[in-house]
Every structure is written in C-alpha cells, then in structure tokens.
Amino acid sequence: MGETIAMILAGGQGSRLSILSNQRAKPAVPFGGNYRIIDFVISNVMHSGIRYMGVMTQYKPYSLMAHIGNGEAWGFTGRFAVAKCLPPYVGDRDSDWYAGTADAIYQNLSFISRFDVDTVLVLSGDHIYHMMYGELLEFHTRSKADLTIATQPVPWEETNRFGLLKSDKKGRIEAFEEKPQKDPISNQANLGIYVFKRSVLEERLRADAANPQSSNDFGKSIIPDMIRECNCYAFEFPNYWRDVGTLHSFWEANMECLDPTSGLDLARWRVHTNCEDAIRYCTPAHLVDDGTVIHSTVGKGSVIRGSVINSVLFRGVVVGPGAVVRNSVIMDGARIGAGSQVNYLVADKYLHTGAGSSIGVEEESVPNRLYPHYLSTGLTLTGKRVHIPDGYRVGRNCLIHQDMKPGLFPANGLPSGSTLTERGLDQP
C-alpha cells in the first residue's frame, strides 16, 4: 500500500448551528470543553500515520486557519510531514470561490501533485468520531477499488439528512442517492469519509470541471457517476460517529462526552488541539466554599461556587454562589451570576448572566417562532458576549444574538420561543 494524502473539507457555513457558526466556520465551533470540531478528524489523520494533509477553508476561515496553523499541534513538523490550509485559489476567473466539495479538491490538484501518493483520503471536517484510517485504506487496496465510502446505519427517520448507499454482500456499491425526502433506498449513511484511487479521482475531477451542467459536488455528481461506471465499495464503520450539523445534535454529542457508555471517549481517543487557544487559562479549575460538580466536565481556570450538574463547561467559567447550571454547554469565559438558574442552555463565549436570573427553567417549550427548524427541542442559545440583566427570566427555545446588553432586553422577560437581536424582539 502506497502513501496517502488526507484532504479535509472544512469550508462549510453550518447554518443549522445558527449563531454558533455566524462568525466562524462550522469545523471551528468549540466542542467538549477543550476542543474544536475539526480536532477530531485531524487527530485521526495524525494517529493513522498519514504525513500529508490539506485543509480546504472558505467560509469565515480566520479562526480555523489560526487554530490549525502549520499543524504543529498535531505533529505535522519536519521534512517529512506537511499540513497546509488551502483557501479558494485567487485567480482571474469569476468562479474562484469553491463551487462545491468536488471543486474544492479540483482547485487543489496542484497541491496533491506535490506528493508521491497513490490514494487520496477525502474527509469532512465537521464530524465527531475516532477512526484509525489504516483499516479503511487496507480494505480499499484489497478490494482494488476506485472509490471506497465509509458507511454506518442511521435511524430510518433521519435518512433524509444523509447520502445513502446500497451495497451487496461483498460491499460493492449498487446504488446511491443524496438526502432523499421519501422512500430511501436503505439506511446506510454516507459518513463523508472517502478513499479515492488518485489517478481515477484526478480524471473524474477534470471531467467534472469541464461540464458546465455539473454541481461540482461529490454527493450530487462525482459519486453517483462513479458508482455506475467504476469499482466502488462500502466500508462499514461500527463505532461512534456523529454529525453535529444541528444545534440539538451538537448538544447531544456534548452530553455524550459525559456518558461512558456512549462510545465517545475523549481520553481514549487522545484528541489533540492547539493549546494556544487556552493559554490564558493555565490554572486548574477550583471548587470554592459550597461549590459542587456532578457528572460534568469543567475547564481550566474555572471557579465553581455554585452547582454544576450534567453539563460541559469550557475554560474560565465562573459559577457564582447559589447558582445552578444543569444540562448545559457553556463556552469560555462565562460568568453565571449568584443565585442564577440555568438549564438546557448552549452559550457561546463570554456569557454573563446577572444575579438571580433564570434561563430555560420554564416547563413550557414552544418552538422558536422565527426558527422552529433550529430551536424546537427545549434548548436556548446565546451568542458571544451576551449580558443578561439581574433577576431576568429567559424561557426555552430562545435565541439571543451576540452583544446583547441589559438595556436591550424587553422589560418583562423573554418568553419561550423568542428571538432577540439588535433590531428588537422577534426581528430576524
């Protein structure tokens, strides 16, 4: 088996994560108290001994590119290892922006050509899983495949979120359809993990780029054509894999970090991250006075004077005396005021809740009026640098945009299903 290059697709906007991905690419969204989503796939590449990696960025890439740097945090150093962020090529065409996932690889064929590799591993940068890619690559070589797709069964009611494939007993793929809205061919989901024979991939991408009718996307163009015309196989992956493309699935995956039976095991997976993100939080977490932590993870530099229950707290979070945080994901630098009650909250960085405030403790859980497709499961979401007034009440399925200060909040609280922006209540 020859050398492999990993190409990570990390340019997606992730609109279903709402304001968490308004100012950053989806793979750069913080996760699990200490990481970003992309850390998982880069760590997989590192642990699999793959020496060459390109990361294709596009949507609001600054924080993602700063996080990855030259890949040193994941061991991509020295003469025989290369990691490079690859924004869209800036040339003399109007279409230099990546037109789709296949076009992103096509525009970077010159990067791939720098390396003497036989196979190209194309990966999505926004999934949570641990995979040693060696077994997948060996299966690909043994099957003499032009394309191998990692797959896993998903609940039938969720098949409309995935590309689906159907394969025979030997794993040869017989059919493929992208996100069917009814009558799915199977519940075998495409996990966004592809192994291509390099020569075949290059040929297919050049032909696709020359076709003005193509969508330039793997799921819509390249893969369906290859399944009809090439030797394509499915590799079933039996372990934990999670698409965190919705706010609820993002919250669930964070909660699964706390569940030893879930299959998500951060310690065993040895996930690496760029520690420069956390350099300001170098002290251990502290429990002060009556502070308690139950079935939770608490990041460095945090100070807990209240109670934290079944929650993921990132770095530098302060929980005031008498405050209770339950079932929540609270990112860096938050201040939970004394006596506050917080439940089912996903909070971006630097939240400040005033003393005696409450979030998400109401029993009523009506869907968000503006965004029912994002917020309907009882979670409330706050953007960066939100400052909730003292004694204020926020319901469930609420959305509070970034930089909302006390004077911008309606006087009588924020009822369940509300959205608050700088334009006012329930204004998009």
Contacts of 423 by beta carbon, 8 Å cutoff, 6+ apart: none
pLDDT of residue 23: 76
Length of the chain: 428
| DSSP H or E run through 234 | strand 232-236
User: What pLDDT is attached to residue 313?
Assistant: 98
In this predicted structure, what is the pLDDT of residue 232? 97
DSSP state, 206?
H
Least confident of 160-169, 342-351, 394-403: 160-169
CATH superfamily of domain region 280-425: Hexapeptide repeat proteins (2.160.10.10)
Q: Where are the beta strands (DSSP E) in 74-172?
A: 82-86, 119-124, 127-129, 147-153, 163-167
Nearest one of 381, 425, 387 to 403, comparing CA atoms: 387
What confidence tens digit (pLDDT) does each residue in 320-333 have?
999 999 999 999 99
The CA R_g of the chain, rounded to the nearest whole Å, is: 23
Binned at pLDDT 50, 70 and 90, residue 78 comes out as: confident
* Residue 379 near residue 344, CB atoms below 8 Å: yes
DSSP one-letter code for 368: P
- What percent of the chain has a predicted confidence (pLDDT) above 90? 74
pLDDT score at 16: 67
Residue whose token pair is 């590192």? 46
What digits encode the pLDDT tens for the residues 151-180?
Answer: 999 999 989 888 999 999 899 999 999 888
- Name the residue with higher pLDDT: 110 or 1: 110
Least confident of 78-92, 284-298, 304-318, 330-344: 78-92
DSSP assignment letter at 399? E
Q: Where are the domains of the chain?
A: 4-256, 280-425
Query: What does the pLDDT average to over 95-115?
Result: 86
Range 119-127 average pLDDT? 95
- Fold agreement between 4-256 and 280-425: no
Q: Which CATH superfamily is domain 4-256 in?
A: Spore Coat Polysaccharide Biosynthesis Protein SpsA; Chain A (3.90.550.10)
Instruction: Give me the mean pLDDT over the 209-227 stretch.
Output: 90
Distance CA 189, CA 218 (A): 14
- Which of 342, 319, 335 lies closest to 392, judged by CA? 342
